[in-house]
Amino acid sequence: MLGILAVVVALGERPAAAQSSTDPPATPAPVPQSAGTGLVTVVQVSGYLDPIEVSFIERSIDRAERDHVDALVIQLNSPGAVVSDDRVDRLVERIRGASITVGVWVGPSGAQAAGAAARVVEAAQYRALAPGSRLEVDGQRIGADEAFTSHRTNIPATCARERGSTEGCSATIGDFVVSIPGVPTRTIEQDGQTRTEPAGQTQFAQVPLIDRWLHSVASPPVAYLLFVIGIALLLFELFTAGVGVAGVVGAGAFLLGCYGLAVLPARPAGIALVVFAMFGYAVDIQTGVPRVWTAIATVSFVAGSLLLYEGMSLSWITLLAGVVGMTVAMLAGMPAMVRARFSTPTIGREWMIGEQGRARTTIAPEGTVVIRDAPWRARTNRATPIAAGEAVRVAAIEGLVLEVEPLTGAARDRRSTP
């Protein structure tokens, strides 16, 4: 078990944590020649920019160039990046060097673009924030209006509506798309109101399902909880007979948690403290009574949870779920399970006490006996070994193991009739 847990400490090279943007605001690049097809692609990116999301953005740009779209719009909501600075640099250069128009819209309301994600925003030719969204640059958070007045973005957040027309703005993703020069638009009148929309097709794209699943696994709270649940279930399986559902589920959660920690900026010290906590819990679980090692393990687990990530922190809800859940399981659940396992009731087998048979193998101190033509595991209740073939009597039963004694010189069973 400890060998399996030690794999976590040997996780691969940690990626760099999200970095604050130091690049100057990008100026609008010359607008590429429009294909005139009216085709606009909108890709949705959320969460930390990990290898999956970065590759998805780059593939989307490649596909948009092949399809000769009029514009590629990235709908972004990200607290930063968990890839290296060099990887972010390559993404920024890919956006700036694209042969098609690239726009980044931080939305919907309440979305953010912080650290390296802010660099992605500023790399685009057209960039905007939805009302209520924010941009974090050099540790300073700015809103949509301030971002526009400081030229961090070049399309305003709010719309000035006159005579039913919509001026260029980014109140919604649709408003932002029609505000991009080169995108064919059309005016539609409905119920006495006029609205502007793209003249061609707008297609939306997300990360593929499997990649989206792995991206979710690599989020800080999910990776932490999967790792903790997996390692706890493996510890539970260590004290059960055979391999069951808990072991299979625990192994799967453990591997997924390891993947998440490998992608995220996890501290080796935090991982080591969590692993050490499992060792401490195992010591007292073996005895069936929480003692000093349980207290040491709980302190180690809490410290490891708090120090697990570098440059990011877990929410108090996640920490509460992990710490309280683990503490309750190790203080109450696991000791009760171990006591139940090692105190298997003997109901239905009392008839065997006093039965006679023969030793099938030498019992010194354990071996096999035959009682009523059925083989049983047995151990001698005396220090003297019992030779193979010697007659024995069942003195007691512990779980599935019989305690036997030789007939010659054995104490008379108190339940035997005179």
Task: Say if residue 158 is in the same domain as residue 223.
Answer: no
pLDDT of residue 343: 52
Residue 297: give the domain boundaries. Answer: 218-341
Q: What is the pTM of this model?
A: 0.67
Same structural domain for residues 65 and 169?
Answer: yes
In a domain, 51, yes or no: yes
Same-domain status, 231 and 200 = no
CATH of the domain at 372: 2.40.50.140
> Residue 13: what pLDDT?
35
Structure tokens at 222: 């999910």
Both tokens assigned to 107: 């939305």
Structure tokens at 39: 């085709």
- Cβ neighbors of 22 (< 8 A, separation 6 or more) are 138
The Cα–Cα gap between 203 and 208 comes to: 15
Q: How many domains does the chain have?
A: 3
The sign of the torsion formed by the CA atoms of 209, 215, 221, 223 equals positive
By CB atoms closer than 10 A (0-12, 13-18, 19+), residue 315 is: exposed
Residue 305 domain flag: yes
Residue 369 lies in a domain: yes
CATH number of the CATH domain containing 79: 3.90.226.10
Shared-domain flag, residues 81 and 52: yes
Asked if residue 279 and residue 159 are part of one domain, the reply reads no
Q: Spell out the per-residue pLDDT of the chain, length 418, in tens.
A: 334 433 333 333 333 333 433 444 444 444 444 455 679 999 999 999 999 999 999 999 999 999 999 999 999 999 999 999 999 999 999 999 999 999 999 999 999 999 999 999 999 999 999 999 999 988 889 999 999 999 999 999 987 654 444 457 889 999 999 999 888 888 888 777 777 888 888 899 989 889 989 999 999 999 999 999 999 988 888 776 556 788 889 999 999 999 999 999 999 999 999 999 999 988 887 766 678 888 999 999 999 999 999 988 899 999 999 999 898 888 877 766 665 555 545 445 667 788 889 998 888 888 888 888 788 888 887 667 888 889 998 888 876 788 888 887 655 444 444 4
**Among residues 292, 319, 341, which one ends one of the domains?**
341
264 and 197 in one domain?
A: no
Exposed (0-12), middle (13-18) or buried (19+): which is 389, by Cβ within 10 Å?
A: exposed
Same domain, 360 and 303: no
Per-residue model confidence (pLDDT) at position 7: 36
What count of other Cβ atoms lies within 10 Å of the Cβ of residue 275? 21
Tokens 């030779």 found at:
387
